[in-house]
Amino acid sequence: MSYDITISTTIKRLSKQGILEVSIKILVVGCAGRMGRRIISVIENSDGVELGAGLDMPGGPYIGLDAGEVAGVGKKNIPISSNISQVVDDCDVIIDFSVPSVSLENFLTAHEKGKAIIIGTTGMSEEHYKTFDAMAKTSRAVIAPNMSVGVNALFKLVSEASKILGDYDVEIVEMHHNQKVDAPSGTGVRLASIVAHEMNRDLDKVAKYGRNGKEGVRPKNEIGIMTLRGGDVVGEHTVIFAGLGERVELTHRAGSRDNFATGAVLASKWIVKQQNGIYDMQDVLGLR
């Protein structure tokens, strides 16, 4: 079993489709943060895209400074703004890795202005997704808890493994840096949802978020989701399929934020060619 999901082969495939020939301007939300700076760096080193605007929180110390200089890519003559309505008109796509409430506001702005948006924010609620889905026919968005090409390959592999190993016990372990707010991670929840779907289980009923004390024998259909936090870990996810006499483990480890930034920029190039709809990285990478 193999999937054409490396960054290089994906870019070649999209180039043949003409997706990379367009020149698009990208608005980066949270451009002064760690993720925002890496996105600007990837934009700077990618063909067919350019930085259109940078947005940061109102009252922050970077408002008015040059977005390129703050990101370490040189002067771009693009002052960082705190008001998306003032800068969105000159951009084609918004990239947002912020917090759920801000991402929802930016989604609504993108809808109002007729702009595409890429949302990599985690911790979204069911109500957020209901809003996105309700506006799918008049919006263009790629919304995914993880923009990494490798993680999306993991999603696909876990889906296939779950079909084959349906009688095995499943445990999911995820670890991130000590500043991450949501737990478990959006990627960890997505992995659990994939397993539950393929094994015909109700995740709300079988999910087990940690264990403590004498809880008795592990229920047969339980899906364990364990959350670890510490240091500066960018992101690690392991799905364990444990059977009698053997164990299968599928793991993804992120060494830097560049893989998320690269995936977001790739999604930006893809979305400009699409019709209205709510998509995710599985669509972008052709893994459906």
Residues designated as active site: 176, 180
Give the 3-state DSSP-derived string for the chain, with helices as H, strands as E and coil as C.
Answer: CCCCCCHHHHHHHHHHCCHHHCCEEEEEECCCCHHHHHHHHHHHCCCCEEEEEEECCCCCCCCCCEHHHHHCCCCCCCECECCHHHHHHHCCEEEECCCHHHHHHHHHHHHHHCCEEEECCCCCCHHHHHHHHHCHHHCEEEECCCCCHHHHHHHHHHHHHHHHCCCCEEEEEEEECCCCCCCCCHHHHHHHHHHHHHCCCCHHHHEECCCCCCCCCCCCCCEEEEEEECCCCCEEEEEEEEECCEEEEEEEEECCCHHHHHHHHHHHHHHCCCCCEEECHHHHCCCC
